[in-house]
Structure 1
């Protein structure tokens, strides 16, 4: 939640059972800090202090200051309402697999670290029945957020800003928002595991694998109710058959897997709802499939459902566009003049009998 060093220490000081002592240079600038657990004392009855760097390398004051400085930079989203913050966080999580494939290790490390902070925040925002799974996922993934590679934290401003906005708001009223984020989070963990594996970070690979088990359990519980509510409104059989043909055209490699998926009813209902709202279901399917490969998705139908729901939050495209090759000039339609070659070709054709 902190946006500055001063706010970080204020929050830490206000935390129950935690003692904080800030250390300063002669100039008055902050040099570092140390903390103790209330009641944890030595033989003389004095608190047992630990510096931040003793607890973890990324908890040293220079590391914390660097992350906060990066977070202070403005992000693109200005509307930090609940849907906007969750949608921004989901979009940022969805981009992580692609970011890890870019070849910039310092940027990749920043995205993985920011994602770990997002997992830390989730238990505070989610329904209590899935909090244990989320806490275990965050605790397991913590080791995967750290490596010898130095993180350039400025690359992960968007996710950090969204998580900070989410922390200041109530838990999401719509379970679909949490399910969407968890669906993207699972793919992000799989990508992080693969990234560490390629660099032979064995401990981080194990940590990511453990986090994945708990995250999938949380996702299964979070997604069950929103998907069931949508699936209850499945459209008539002719509509289902027509939309199924679009699925085969958009994702031929996964079409049968989608059809066999227990979330198929939710997907086809979501497509029908989108069509009724004025969207082109075939276009939405293609856009959803192109966002990221479905190869890592345990349930392609669920993944496509969440992606399409997010895509339909955008304005409906204007279908009144002029046909290809026809230009609009000052409110009138103008057909372009044929090229000389086209005119010659037309003149060379034999005249038809009238």
Structure 2
């Protein structure tokens, strides 16, 4: 159940609100508007007044609601109307008028509009438009002339809604923490439909601004990218001449005067205010884009693989920063992905967006490598003809998102946990579509049975607890291929395999052979060490038995999330 509070301003706010509630709606969606409850249980009902003109009943209702406000004259408050739509989920049972009336009374009591037993409380009405929702409208002056005590009413109403869901057997939503993005209003949805847009302007702008933040190396490029995607930017300039904030609009989305409708960045999402955008850009703006040579697919994958370690061993601020960077990665990947998987990747990014924000402030210092490498992928479009680069980073992203689910769960971030779980579902679909053809191509180049037996022998010695799973895995031939290719490039196959096994535990891998395939593919493409270097490394490893080669190896099982699908 979703309640949402909207404040109306000015002396005509009550008339406008009641006119809308009992009108035809913006798309003729108001079929049978009628009262289900009111402050005194016998307020005039413009929707059910067969023996009088509905306009007269509406005028009388407005007058009665406004009476306490009129008594204050010039001392009336700026905010005059409290409007709260309350909507049930599509799968919820249809509630009766009496049940909706009870829900309305509980909502106004929780908000401080009309506490139980308070005969001098604000005047209010609850109007039902359809099976699944009501609108509550109240005037914000009590009948004794005082203002209602409604501090933190949005939080109070949400808490009451969670209780109502339990009492009525409705879909139970996750408790929020006030960091979620503002949802488009019904008005914005209807406007988008009229304009022929697939999504509301608010959602379109949020996606474009987030992508520009993820892709830009500095503030100038950020604004240039927005302009290139058709976003109109209006800066708020302070007395010093510095930009203090920015508003965004889309061409064609105008008001009644033909002017662009601007949205402040902070109203698109709490992390899209200009100061927070600048903080994010500072992570990547201090070094040139060409500062790090190498394969950006490998660099991005390696940086993503470190996220689980941060989430299990880092402090909360660093962990939150890693989630922000992971969200930026998902924002940019669809732009570089094949058209066949782009929509599913965009759904994953849209879902994970909610998992990137919490009450914990983000320390972005440790995210530079990931953000720069993903920007390089977006900017330079490095060669990835067979999809291996994308498959590798998706494999690492899947693990990171699974750890994000666990991290949010341990911090009791219910909405963020659910968002990460939803993103995981979309990512699993994409990963299957990308990885399967790559693995099939590798399997076709599998080495001889003799070479495979040699690799299998080392596996059985190195990881006896996983060897049987790996050898019976459908991706075993692909793994043998990349081991053979690494060997042909001058690497010692056993050493490379040991390095891959030490990078991170295989305990949570649904397909350990797949996980090892991507790790060895990256290791195999590095410059092969000479014989003396290999001997020195082998000697060093022998002197330190049991020490994991990767910071997340050996993490206790209770600190790891449930196994995820690869």
Length-normalised TM-score, structure 1: 0.86
- Verify: 1:277 aligned to 2:489, yes or no: yes
SS in 2 for 1:253: helix
Change (3 A) 1:196 1:77: farther
2:285 counterpart residue number: 72
Indicate the structure (1 or 2) with the bigger Cα radius of gyration: 2
1:306 counterpart residue number: 518
Structure 1 residue aligned with 2:372, among 161, 166, 174? 161
Change (3 A) 1:322 1:271: closer
**Displacement after TM superposition at 1:75 (Å):** 8.6
Mapped partners of 2:339, 2:293: distance in 1: 24
CA shift digits 1:256-307 (9 cap, x unpaired): 2112211111001211222233322222122111111112222110110110
Report if the CA contact (8 A) 1:251-1:286 is conserved: no
1:344 counterpart residue number: none
- Verify: 1:288 aligned to 2:500, yes or no: yes
SS in 2 for 1:31: strand
Q: Unpaired runs of 5+ in structure 2?
A: 1-214, 537-566
2:435 counterpart residue number: 223
Larger CA deviation: 37-46 vs 107-116: 37-46
Mapped partners of 2:513, 2:283: distance in 1: 37
1:1-354 pair list within 5 angstroms = 1-16=215-230, 18-74=231-287, 78-80=291-293, 84-170=295-381, 172-320=384-532
Mapped partners of 1:60, 1:178: distance in 2: 31
CA shift digits 1:127-178 (9 cap, x unpaired): 1111122111111110011111101122211111111111112363341111
Larger CA deviation: 253-262 vs 170-179: 170-179
Report if the CA contact (8 A) 2:311-2:319 is conserved: yes
Change (3 A) 1:311 1:75: farther
Report if the CA contact (8 A) 1:123-1:131 is conserved: yes
Report if the CA contact (8 A) 1:35-1:51 is conserved: yes
CA shift digits 1:10-42 (9 cap, x unpaired): 2212322x3221111111111111112222233
Change (3 A) 1:23 1:310: same
2:74 counterpart residue number: none
Mapped partners of 1:220, 1:100: distance in 2: 25
Task: Determine which structure has greater relative contact order: mean sequence separation of CA pairs < 8 Å that are 6+ residues apart, divided by chain length.
Answer: 1
**Displacement after TM superposition at 1:44 (Å):** 3.4
**Displacement after TM superposition at 1:79 (Å):** 4.1
CA shift digits 1:195-218 (9 cap, x unpaired): 111101111111111111111111
Larger CA deviation: 305-314 vs 36-45: 36-45
Mapped partners of 2:517, 2:500: distance in 1: 9
Runs of 4+ aligned residues of structure 1 deviating over 4 Å after TM superposition are: 321-324
Mapped partners of 1:114, 1:75: distance in 2: 19
Mapped partners of 2:290, 2:493: distance in 1: 27
**Displacement after TM superposition at 1:323 (Å):** 7.6
Report if the CA contact (8 A) 1:189-1:208 is conserved: yes
Larger CA deviation: 168-177 vs 144-153: 168-177
Normalized per residue, the structure richer in helix is 1
SS in 1 for 2:380: coil
What RMSD in Å do the two structures reach over aligned CA positions?
2.0
Mapped partners of 1:151, 1:157: distance in 2: 13
Change (3 A) 1:14 1:276: closer
Q: Unpaired runs of 5+ in structure 1?
A: 325-354
Mapped partners of 2:302, 2:534: distance in 1: 32
Change (3 A) 1:301 1:321: closer
Report if the CA contact (8 A) 1:250-1:282 is conserved: no
Change (3 A) 1:40 1:247: same
Change (3 A) 1:285 1:157: same
Mapped partners of 1:322, 1:105: distance in 2: 39
Length-normalised TM-score, structure 2: 0.54
Mapped partners of 2:312, 2:243: distance in 1: 37
